[in-house]
Each structure stands twice: as C-alpha cells, then as structure tokens.
Structure 1
Amino acid sequence: MTDGSATGIPRLLRVGMGATAVGLLLIFNSVDTGPGTNRAESQPAPPAAAAPAVPGPPDAVHPVPAAPAVPAAPAAPAAVPQAPVLGRAQPTRLRIPQIAVDAPFTELTLDPAGRLNAPPPDDKNLVGWYRDGVTPGERGSAIVAGHVDTAKGPAVFLLLKLLRPGNKVEVNRMDGTVAVFSVDSVEIFAKDAFPDQKVYGKVPDAQLRLITCGGAYDKKRRDYRDNVVVFAHLESSHKA
C-alpha cells in the first residue's frame, strides 16, 4: 500500500460512491437524519474546483501586421523541484493556517463491510488518517478524513472547500519532522460518480488527500451527495 496504487485501497474505498452512500469514502458511515446531525456533512458547493479559473482575454479585432511575425521559440517549462519523500512515520497533528485548522490525528480502520470508519462523532476537532495506507510524506497518496459538522455543531473540515492552490498544509509526524504540503486543487465529486483512480491512483511522489462531505443534503439517503477533495503534494519538510 506504500506505493499509493488504487489496488491497495480497500474494496469499498475503491468501488465508488454508490446510490446508497456506502461506497468510496462514505467516509463517515452516516446514520443520522439531517444536517447538523450527520457525521460528515459539508456546506453546499458547486461541482467544480474551488479555485476559479482565470478568464482569458476578451475577444478583440487586431490589425494585421505588415509582415508575418516570426514566432518566438517557446520557453522551456521550469522544472518544479520535488521534495524528497519521507520514511514512514505516523501523523500526529494537522495544521492548515488559512482555515484555522489545528487538530490531532486518530487512526481510521475498516468496518466488517470494508468501509472506512469515521473519526469519533463527539470530537469536533479531530482528523482521521487511514492507518493501512501511506503516511503523509511517504510516496503515494495519504488519506485524511474529517467531519464538517456533527451534532455538536461545525467541525474541523467545515471550511475545507475554501482552500486555494498554493495554500499550505502542515503535518506533524511522530519522527519529529513536519511535512509541508502545497494545495494543487480543491474539487467536488458526486458520491455516486467518485473518481477512484484520480483520488487514489498511483502517484510518483508524496501526495495528500483531504476529504470530507459536501453538496446538498439528501434526506432520503440521510447523507450529503458530494465529497470535497483537496489534492496536495509534498513541498518540503523540516524538523518540528
């Protein structure tokens, strides 16, 4: 499971979000009856990346040059340095300054049906890490889940969808290092069309996925219809 490949993901984490909301990252195994009581609700969000696309220039009529311009050779894209991957070390604390997250970790396991158990519903400031997956900073996609609200009110990932590319996510690790991730994108996926490979597929470097529920609340299914997923990559690391 340390290579982050989809084949290492537990069965119901890979199958996808089914109509009964028990599929891929029904992270939160909902048994409640409405917003404010569901174990992993989120605020409604459009089904698109949270970071808006930059619009192109408006259409305009340009004068025809007297002689054809010689196109400049395209500049070679600058290489983005990749931070060295880290060894395995259990995460202990998650910090996301932009949305005021500062929370300890708990380990997440699978239930008998192969679903990922939720973090305890009575703690609003707690995130869960899938302990049989890679640890944050190892090569592969580390999976971190959290509630957006509970019966007690707003919870740790309430504002997750507001992150933007370039925002930093810090993970303190038991080996005394801090893995610093940079957000690449924030996307919203319908639970019944969850892109397993995109979220859990094999990656060549150390990446992080932060996941919670989102979208409209479906009273019939007693669950939210979407998942909010933050994609991030390891940018650097340092001693705590």
Structure 2
Amino acid sequence: AFSDTTPTTTTTPYTGPTTTSESTSTTNGGGGGSDCDAFSKTGELTQYGLEQSFLGNCEFAFDSASNLGITNFVALPQSFEYNNGLNCGRCIKIKCSCEQSTFDGVCSTGQDTIAMVADSCPECNAGDVDSNLLVWNSVTGNESPSRFDASWEFVECPSAFRPNPKSQLRWKTGSSQWWLGLQPTNTRFGIVSITARRSDGNEFSLPLGGNDVGFSFWFLSANSFFDTDQYPITIIVTNTEGDTASGTVFSTSEIVANTYLDLDALL
C-alpha cells in the first residue's frame, strides 16, 4: 500500500547492467526523450513495504526464483491487470512518464526497469503499479515515496529472473493424487493453460485456483483424475505466445508437496 513516509530500510538500490537485452535496468528513464510514454499501459507508480516476493499473494516459494525474482517485484491492481493471479510470475518493464501531472521534473535519473509480478494491490486502479523499494529506487532515481505517473508493459523475463534452463511446475503444499495444485515457475512469459493427459487419452484442464487454493496455482480438487492406474500422466503447459512444454508424472509417488516437475522446454 502507498505510504508517504520515508522508508527506514537501507537496502542499496539495484542498478543492474545497462547495455544488453538481458538487462533489468536501462538508461533513459523518465524526464526526457520522445519515447518516454511508448509503453502500452499508463497509471500511477507507488511504493510499498513488502521486501521479498514470496510474501506476496502469488505465493512464490523462496527458492522458485533467482535473487532478482525475489527482490525486484511489483504488485498489480487486484481487480484489473493482476487478473486473479493469471499474471503472477510475468515480468513488466516500467518507467516514469515524461509528463507528470503533479510533480514536474521527477525521475530525472531514473531508469527503465524490469520487475516480476508477485503480488496484488487491492486499492490500485487500472494501470497502476505498486512497487517494492528496489524497483521504486531504480525507476525514479531514488526519489522519496510519492505518486508518479508511469508507463509500463509486459515483457519477456530476462535470464536474471530465471535460475534454471527449463520451466518447472511446483506441487503445492498438501498435494496428493486426490487434491493438488501446480504453480508454473522459471518462465519467460505468462501461462494461460495447464492440461493433464492420462495414458488412456483422457484429458483434464486444470482451472486457476484463486482464493480457494492460491492465486498462482492451477488445481484439481475432489477429482479422481490422478487417482488412477492410467499412468504416466503428461502435464501440458501453454504460454501467452502459444508455445507449449510438457512434463511426465509416472506414479502417484511423484506427487510430493513443494517439489518440482521439470518441463521439457523453457516457456
């Protein structure tokens, strides 16, 4: 949530590399240039106090992202771009707008910055972004907490946010063949569907969990689909670009909470 007090943390702002396509920060932030508002979404940028992404509503595991995925993150409007958790784990690139409605001239040393969606913001309006301190400092150039106009868009997550060469699915706490949740991790783009296919050809499309099971988990509840002798079961995952990857579960003994199912490609 937005605060108008100066934060007490002493974390050094992340500056990151500034020259390659894998950078999380690039030069030419708000305050100048004809492309300052070139990103597709606009709204207010604010700063809130959450310091680690695994404490956000997306319920990331501490080890499910690299250091940047844990520390460089934002919350999106709960009723809009957060999209009931569908955009958890996606990356955005954000910068201050050239034209500020209230505070002219701010963000003169700010940078275009990439951050991961890890939380929701209940009070935010469409297009707003509530960032943690590291992202705020990078985007604004260490301005004091306030409300600035910003521009942003969804982008591919750079390798700094992806600790593994292929995408994975994490089994939620409490998962078994009778009830389970699967959370995509280590992805380049957003995930739009997860389908399970048994060896007999039957398929089940897992719905996204929401409040019932966790915002970024796709789940199966009170269903005998995995309680079967029709193994192996193939899990097929599709991203926003239309790419697919799959992983194979060979028996119920492999459904173990807080372990990972490796997929055969990077999504």
Q: TM-score range by the shorter chain?
A: under 0.3
TM-score, normalising length: structure 2: 0.22
Between the two structures, name the one with larger relative contact order (CA 8 Å, sep ≥ 6). Answer: 1
